[in-house]
């Protein structure tokens, strides 16, 4: 059956979150400078009529997990895939609409680069397009954050949803949780291209798994423990890193990455795993300017490396890192110039299900600050 409408959406992922941990309720205030990258999370919604007003009117295909399920968006549950159910419930379809939704990410699950937030943002962006595309990226980011914190009761900072909604390079100022001011950092073309060329995303070979450790760290921070000095130190890194990046000073930007990495180690030694340290040692030996674990840190996940200026040394470094084994590998990324995008495929297209390389429609509000 041909759908009445076909909607596509995509949202970038987040790497190298300088100041991460400070965009949280237990930090109270903070700053983050992060980078949005592709490959993006992709969402497709096929819209059909629901003349009998069936309650179970949303069918989701989670491609990365090889799973498919149907549910009532007016009564979301935690299983299966509570994140997806609550995201749809944030902007549910009308009772006379039935949706078939496909979701895909090109990166491994649990890679610590904000994939769940990007899924939420892309899905809510697509549902907003179904309603006319009037929400705007600030509201989309806020709804995605509420899905994780209120819908699922999870610990979540603000930065991942903002990176997915805004794209590019974001300087995030959080004067008081959950309020945030976002400034998109513009770079000269040569600096942008050089940064993109030198970024290396390394998957540590296993999904991120450190929930118990994070709970321990958060409990200590909540009570105002000694770890707060590292939180305050991390909050001072993003402004200086932004100045370095804007000036094209990659040596200083790389040093900011290393300082942030060591602040995370100060919160808990286990936040920087042995594999992360092994990768950093290889990077250092090949002249890399900087390195940092992505996200909160812990076992598994990923890290960002700022490679040396020399192309040949970069390639040698990549080969040496992948030579460590244990599933460690480099995942190609490029900087994302845009945040969440959603559009309706024109009904006159020869292949109605084909993805457009240039969106035919984008809501104006998604380009607004």
Encode burial over 62-71: b for 16+ CB neighbours within 10 A, e otherwise.
beeeeeeeeb
Note the pLDDT of residue 316.
98
pLDDT in tens, 70-120: 999 999 999 999 999 999 999 999 999 999 999 999 999 999 999 999 999
Alpha helices, DSSP H, located in the chain: 82-90, 115-130, 137-146, 159-166, 189-198, 211-222, 228-246, 250-267, 274-285, 311-322
The enclosing H or E element of 280 equals helix 274-285
* Helix (H/G/I), strand (E/B), else coil: 185: coil
Q: Which residue has the tokens 């084909």?
A: 354
Query: What is the extent of the structural domain holding 194?
Result: 5-367
Return phi, psi of residue 100, to 5°. Answer: -115, 120
Closest CA to 225 of 58, 71, 26: 26
Contact 71, 83 (CB under 8 A): no
Note the pLDDT of residue 353.
43
Q: What is the CATH number of the domain that holds 245?
A: 3.30.230.120
Tokens of 190: 């040569």
What does the DSSP 8-state code read for residue 337?
S
Burial class (CB in 10 A: 0-12, 13-18, 19+), 60: buried
Low-confidence ranges of the chain (pLDDT < 70): 210, 348-369
The sign of the torsion formed by the CA atoms of 341, 162, 83, 366 equals negative
The count of domains in the chain is 1
Note the pLDDT of residue 349.
57
Instruction: Report cis status (omega within 30 of 0) of the bond before 80.
Output: yes
User: Cα separation of 17 and 304, whole Å?
Assistant: 9
* Helix (H/G/I), strand (E/B), else coil: 299: coil
Note the pLDDT of residue 335.
98
For residue 365, give Cα distances in angstroms to 87, 112, 135, 279.
20, 29, 7, 41
pTM equals 0.92
Closest CA to 340 of 154, 135, 73, 125: 125
Closest CA to 113 of 155, 159, 145: 159
Contact 45, 99 (CB under 8 A): yes
């Amino acid at each position: 059956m041909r759908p009445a409408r076909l909607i596509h959406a995509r949202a970038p992922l987040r790497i190298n979150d300088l100041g991460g941990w400070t965009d949280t309720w237990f930090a109270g205030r903070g700053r983050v400078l992060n980078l949005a990258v592709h490959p993006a999370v992709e969402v497709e919604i096929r819209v059909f009529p629901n003349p009998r007003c069936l309650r179970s009117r949303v069918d989701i295909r989670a491609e990365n997990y090889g799973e498919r399920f149907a549910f009532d968006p007016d009564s979301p549950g935690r299983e299966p895939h509570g994140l997806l159910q609550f995201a749809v419930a944030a902007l549910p379809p009308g009772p006379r609409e039935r949706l078939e939704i496909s979701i895909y990410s090109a990166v491994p699950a649990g890679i610590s680069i904000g994939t769940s937030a990007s899924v939420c943002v892309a899905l809510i962006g697509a549902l907003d397009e179904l309603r006319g595309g009037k929400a705007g990226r600030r509201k989309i980011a806020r709804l995605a954050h509420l899905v994780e914190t209120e819908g699922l009761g999870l610990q979540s900072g603000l930065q991942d949803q903002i990176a997915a909604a805004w794209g590019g390079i974001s300087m995030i100022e959080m004067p008081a949780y959950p309020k945030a001011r976002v400034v998109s950092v513009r770079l000269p073309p040569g600096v942008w291209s050089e940064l993109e060329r030198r970024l290396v995303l390394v998957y540590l070979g296993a999904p991120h798994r450190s929930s118990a450790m994070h709970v321990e760290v958060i409990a200590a921070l909540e009570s105002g423990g000694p770890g707060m000095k590292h939180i305050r130190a991390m909050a001072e890194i993003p402004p200086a890193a932004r100045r370095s990046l804007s000036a094209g000073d990659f040596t200083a930007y790389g040093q900011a990455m290393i300082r942030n990495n060591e602040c995370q180690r100060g919160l808990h030694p286990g936040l920087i795993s042995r594999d992360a340290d092994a990768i950093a040692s290889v990077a250092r030996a090949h002249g890399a300017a900087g390195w940092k674990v992505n996200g909160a840190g812990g076992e598994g996940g990923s890290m960002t490396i700022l490679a040396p200026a020399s192309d040949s040394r970069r390639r040698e470094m990549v080969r040496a890192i992948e030579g460590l084994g244990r599933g460690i590998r480099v995942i190609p990324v490029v900087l994302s110039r845009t945040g969440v995008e959603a559009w309706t495929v024109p009904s006159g297209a020869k292949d109605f299900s084909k993805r457009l390389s240039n969106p035919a429609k984008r809501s104006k509000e998604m380009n607004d600050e």
